[in-house]
Amino acid sequence: MSTTVIPSNRSVLTALLRADFITQWRNRKSVILILLIPVIILISWKGLVDKLGGAFVLSNCIAIGLNAIGLMGYSNTIARDRDKGIFQRLRVAPLTAWSIMVSRLTVQLAMILLVTTAVFVAGIYADNIKLSATGYALGFAMAFVGGAVYLALGQAIVGLIKNPETVNAVTRLVYFIFIMVGMFAELGALPPNITSVVKWSPYGTVKHILSTGMQPATWNQHSTIALLATIAYTIFFAAVGIKWFRWSTK
């Protein structure tokens, strides 16, 4: 047996991250779209800031951005690359499956950071919404926790559905339902029983932890339960997504 040197994790991850970030950069039109939607909503809701509060508006806009990242961006990219055999080509190289996913998820974490920053900056300049330093720090932390639930949901969808066109259609539908039902419920436009369901849905819990995270003084027992529910959703969707995920559509 000859002596074979296995490439280091660092070398593998550097190469994967470089390629995945370039891919994301070349898809910058969709990145801009993901950034623009929450920022435009934020600017258009300027009149609601005094009535509903800055944290309420910011949290809704960030939740919309996080939804788009997990459901529209991540899941569709995974579904496409799986269908084209890109994962299979990578998997015949001497690297572990987790390194492929770590690289993909790192790009999405960068997207979460970008969207959250864009909303905070737009909030300052467009709506004059300013938070405390702790509010911003917790806002970012809750954005990562909230982003994880939508990434896990996206993973569950690509785990359960193989066809990329169907994945695209289902993620759009789920995105639309979350955004429309979530926003109407938040604005009190839905019956109380539906509002209660929405409150404890992945949209409602994420929106709540974002909102109270940005105003640490308002953090209460409901916030802690919402945080635990968000983590539980993430674990559940990730478990489904990992268990049923196949690297190839064939």
Partner 1 sequence: MTNPPSADTIVLQVDGLHVSYGEFHAVSNVSFDVRAGEIFGLLGPNGAGKTSTLSAVEGLLRPQSGKIVVAGYDVQKNPLHARANLGVQLQATNFQPELSVAEILQLYAGIHGVSLTREKLQNILASIKLEDAAKKRFGQLSGGQQQRVSLIIAMIHNPQLVLLDEPTTGLDPQSRRQLWERMESLRDNNHGILLTTHSMEEAEAVCDRIAIIDHGKIIAIDTPQVLIDKHHDNPEVISVSRKGKITLEDVFIGLTGRTVRS
| Binding span for partner 1 by CB under 8 A among 30-38, 88-96, 145-153, 183-191 | 88-96
Q: Which of 30, 31, 48, 85 binds partner 1 (CB under 8 A)?
A: 85
In angstroms, what is the minimal distance from the CB of 105 to partner 1?
16
| Interface with partner 1, residue 164, by CB under 8 A | no
Are 37 and 68 within 8 A, CB to CB?
Answer: yes
CB neighbours (10 Å) of residue 109?
Answer: 15
Q: What distance lies between CA 197 and its chain's CA centroid?
A: 21
Give me the least distance between CB of 13 and partner 1, in Å please.
9
Six token digits for residue 218 = 């308002």
Q: Taking CB under 8 A as the criterion, which residues in 89-108 touch partner 1?
A: 89-96
The CA distance from 163 to 249, in Å, is 7
Q: Per-residue x/- mask for partner 1, residues 218 to 247, rule CB under 8 A?
A: -----------------------------x
Q: Of 174, 111, 173, 121, which is closest to residue 143 (Cα–Cα)?
A: 111
The region of 23-31, 108-116, 176-184, 200-208 touching partner 1 under the rule CB under 8 A is 23-31
Closer to partner 1 by Cβ: residue 117 or 249: 249
* Spatial CA neighbour of 141 closest among 200, 210, 70: 210
Q: Rounded to the nearest 5 degrees, what angle is found at the Cα of 162, between the Cα atoms of 156 and 167?
A: 65
In the complex, the residues that contact partner 1 under the rule CB under 8 A are 1-8, 11-12, 14-16, 18-19, 22-23, 26-27, 81, 84-86, 88-96, 247-248
